[in-house]
Every structure is written in C-alpha cells, then in structure tokens.
Amino acid sequence: MKKNYYLAFFYFFFSNFIAAQVVNELKIQDGFNITVFANDLDSPRQMAEGKNGTIFVGERSGQILALIDSDNNGQADLKIILAKDLEYSTGISLYNEDLYFSEINKIWKIENIEQWVSNYKNIDSTFPEKILVLDNLPNDTWHGWKWLKHDEEGGIYFNIGAPCNICLSKNPQYASILKFQDGELDYVAKGVRNSVGFDFHPISRKLFFTDNGRDWLGDDSPSCELNRVDFAGQFFGYPFKHASDVIDPEFGHINSGYDFIDPILELGAHVAPTGISFYNGDMFPSIMKNNLFIVLHGSWNRTEKVGYKVIRVEIDNDGSVKHSSDFITGWLNNGKVLGRPSAPLVINDGSMLISDDKANVIYKVTYQN
C-alpha cells in the first residue's frame, strides 16, 4: 500500500514537472500568460464548459471527464470520470445542460450533467446514465475520431472522415460533415477528407471548418485547409481536388459532377489542423474579438516537422480571411516535439483553454493589459 502511495506521488510530481517544462518553452506575445489548468490526463481532445464552470473533456483513450477548479485559482483540483471504456471518445458538446459525447460510430448524452456533478458525492451510482442519441455510423477508426458542435436550435454537427488516405467510398456518409436533429440526418458539407474542428461565426453563424490534406504527394503539397460553408451540401473537393489547385493524380480525371469550393485559407501541407474556436470573450485585446483560433496538431510524415502551434485568423465582414499569424509556438523546439496542441476552448471568464494530447495537459491562456 505504501509502495503504491509513493508511486502515485512520484507520478503526480513528475507529470507536474514535465508540464511546467513544456510551458516554459511556449512563446506568446507580451501581455499573455500560459499556465497549466490540468495535467495527468490521457490524450485530452475536445472540451466544453458547463454553466457552473465545470470543464468537460473527451479523451482519445476512452474516458469522459469533468474537471473542477473549486478554489478558483486557475487550476483544476478535482477530476471526475463520467464514462470510460469508450472507443476514441474525442468529441464533446453541451446543449440545454445535457452533455453529448462521441465514439467512432455512436453519439451519447448525459442529461442534466451539472446537476449530477454537483451531487456526485451523494449519488450511489459510479457513473451517470448515458443515453444513446445516434448509432449505426461507420465504425472505421481511420479518420473516425469525432468533433461535435451544436447550433442554436439544437442540431448536432459531427464529422465522418474518409476511411483512407485517398479513396472514393460508396458510402456517401464518408468524407462529410453532417447534422443530426429530430431524428433526421442531413449533409452540411461534402468532399471533406478529415475535419476534426469546426465552429460557427459569432455574427454570421456560418460554419467554418478545417480539413486535413491527403498524404504522400510530397513534403509541400497539398495544403491543409480552412473552409466556410455558405449553404448546406456544398462540395469541397475530396478526393478529386485538394486545396485550391492540386488535382489528385488518381481521382482527378473523374467527372464528379460537383462544383468544387476552394478553401478560404491554405494552412500549409501536413500541419494537421484539429480544433478551432472563435474568440467571443472579453479578456483578450479587442482586436481579437471574433478572431478564429486554429490548432495545428503537427506533421507525422514530413521530412522536416511543421505545425505544432496555435494560429490566429482575422475574418473580414464578408467571411473572407483578412490576416493570419502565429498565436502560440514552442511545442516544436529545434526538431524536438514537446507537445501536440489539440483543441481550444474560450471559457466564460474570457480566457482560453488548450488541450495537448501528447503532453497530456490542458493549458490556460490569460491576458492582462
């Protein structure tokens, strides 16, 4: 028993030490501060915030967590496991106090989640009841990890990536973003190879999403993308065309019958964009209001690594890109990968949380003028 206690203490101390080392290497402009909100996690991905300030996290390892900062010191001090033994539970979203989360081929919900969390010490059951929302989705793990997002009317948006690097699937659900509401499944965007990040513009309410470009066409092609959906069902190119002008060598000769929509911003080849979030808080400088923050998870098969950072994108009134720039760098240090940022979340106090599924931490970004 004593041995297990010492091992647990050592692991906790070591994980704190590693997290602090990563933070020390991160670079951000003056006035901002980066701290560790939570560590000792297991591949954290998408996050959501409840009305009481609870942070809900989907872990790729198969757990759904609730993180609570009970003393308001900027660091979570309580971790509650809400569900476990799930298959790649990366996507998470809140709507009307119900928590929705994904597996590869399912979407679940837990009703009145904040009520359960606030009373969990007095509840007999180990885990809250989870209710099946949607199943019978494709079960391919290749590009099967989900990102979830609700619109204002309760429709839940999610992605189904292509089950391959490059292929033309018979199942039309592949390579798409879909919306599920009132028992109906509708196509939002088609020809989307692998989007694991989308958000609604705070003013126009149009959906912006990233897409990961195909592999094995060289170090510098094709670019990953930022796209905007102007109306449901638009086709964004895959597998026939990539980025703005890369015709696929295998499928590009096929007459698809679609009009291809070009990206509004090319992000660079192999940078692997994941989570995105529009900034709608009041803490950051006013120039950043309604800016889009995109996490570049980082390359895995490029000769020289790229990505591993968070960028800021200024969106013009017409929905086009005005300017983009680095926001946080340092996870890639002289070719060494210290962490892989996964998803941003703007929370109620105006700060931003960023998950990291390599360092297994969640950072908190604050600003003080």
Q: Could you tell me the residue ranges of all domains in the chain?
A: 25-367
Both tokens of 116, joined, read 């359960």
Identify the pLDDT of residue 230: 98
Using pLDDT thresholds of 50, 70 and 90, give the confidence band for residue 2: very low
The residues, ordered by sequence, that sit 6+ positions from 269 with a Cβ below 8 Å of its Cβ are 213, 218, 219, 220, 221, 222, 223, 224, 302, 306
- Residue whose entry in the numeric block shows the structure tokens 């989900």: 146
Q: What is the H or E stretch that residue 56 is in?
A: strand 55-59
Both tokens of 113, joined, read 């989640």
Average pLDDT over residues 175-198: 98
Going by DSSP bridges, is the β-strand pair 234-235/184-190 parallel, antiparallel, or unpaired?
A: parallel
The class that CATH gives domain 25-367 is: mainly beta
Tens digits of residue pLDDT in 278-328? 999 999 999 999 999 999 999 999 999 999 999 999 999 899 999 999 999
* Cα–Cα distance measured from residue 358 to residue 249, given in angstroms and rounded to the nearest whole number: 34
